[in-house]
């Protein structure tokens, strides 16, 4: 029969063995196929809420659309949204500056007070602002540039006001094709007398096949006399309704 000293020695050996195994478990790497210990903190366990992309979409300030606006108006719109928008690098900042790009884009969610970089040019015309074009005697053309921020969704309206008897051909240069021909004012259905002149209106629900960017509005005069034409190009985003809580 073993004595008490033998049992004490056996117990000590067991305790020592357990300690060695525990130490080995801390020092030796886990095998590739072995799952991590239950007490370990994995990367996925650090994110207990929804993914970061969902958080960005549902929290923070909503970046408004600035493309096509005069820079002064774009700054005011950004201030109203709680953001700081301004032209970047050496882009123009004067009265004729118009926004042709922005970062972050419209619709993004950012922390309140975040800066929004605005790319500007002075060779484009603000969205919705009337432009007067003088076309001389005989066959004459004239053109100017506008910004199409989101033609896939935005409605497009072009309004021409010109002297009676004038005949104009209207077209758009969108970048995807050299020219999108809209037609002659003689053939347009929505042309009406207005204060001694003729007012023509062309409306598109959207132009999904055309890319965003800087477009060209072009006029070609067919009638013989010189005319002054007022052109207004307006891109209007679709109306969205927010359900009541």
Residues 85-140 have pLDDT tens digits of 999 999 999 999 999 999 999 999 999 999 999 999 999 999 999 999 999 999 99
Whole-number pLDDT of residue 113: 97
* 158 C-beta neighbours (distance < 10 Å), count: 18
Could you tell me the fold of the domain covering 55-121? Trypsin Inhibitor V; Chain A (3.30.10)
- Indicate the domain borders of the chain: 55-121, 131-236
131-236: CATH architecture? Sandwich (2.60)
Between residues 121 and 34, the one the model is more confident about: 121
- Dump pLDDT digits (tens) for 149-204: 999 999 999 999 999 999 999 999 997 777 888 999 988 889 999 888 999 999 99
Q: Do the beta carbons of residue 63 and residue 105 sit within 8 Å? A: yes
| pLDDT one-digit tens code per residue, 215-235 | 999 999 989 999 999 999 999
Query: 160 in helix, strand or coil?
Result: strand
- Residue 170 CA to residue 187 CA, distance in Å, equals 11
Q: Is the pLDDT of residue 25 over 70?
A: no
* pTM of this structure: 0.72
């Amino acid at each position: 029969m073993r004595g008490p000293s033998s049992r004490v020695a056996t117990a000590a050996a067991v305790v020592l063995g357990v300690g060695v195994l525990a130490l080995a478990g801390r020092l030796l790497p886990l095998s590739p196929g072995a799952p991590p210990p239950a007490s370990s903190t994995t990367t996925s366990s650090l994110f207990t809420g929804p993914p970061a992309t969902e958080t960005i979409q549902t929290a923070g300030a909503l970046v408004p659309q600035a493309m096509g606006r005069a820079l002064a108006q774009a700054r005011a719109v950004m201030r109203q949204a709680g953001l700081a928008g301004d032209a970047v690098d050496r882009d123009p900042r004067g009265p004729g500056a118009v926004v042709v790009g922005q970062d972050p884009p419209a619709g993004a969610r950012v922390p309140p007070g975040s800066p929004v970089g605005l790319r500007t040019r002075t060779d484009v015309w603000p969205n919705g602002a009337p432009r007067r074009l003088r076309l001389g005697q005989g066959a004459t053309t004239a053109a100017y540039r506008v910004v199409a921020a989101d033609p896939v969704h935005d409605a497009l309206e072009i309004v021409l006001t010109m002297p009676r008897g004038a005949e104009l051909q209207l077209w758009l240069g969108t970048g995807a094709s050299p020219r999108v021909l809209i037609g002659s004012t003689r053939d347009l259905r929505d042309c009406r007398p207005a204060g001694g002149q003729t007012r023509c209106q062309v409306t598109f629900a959207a132009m999904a096949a055309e890319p965003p960017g800087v477009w060209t509005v072009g006029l070609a005069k067919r009638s013989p006399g010189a005319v002054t034409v007022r052109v207004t190009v307006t891109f209007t985003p679709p109306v969205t309704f927010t359900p009541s809580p």
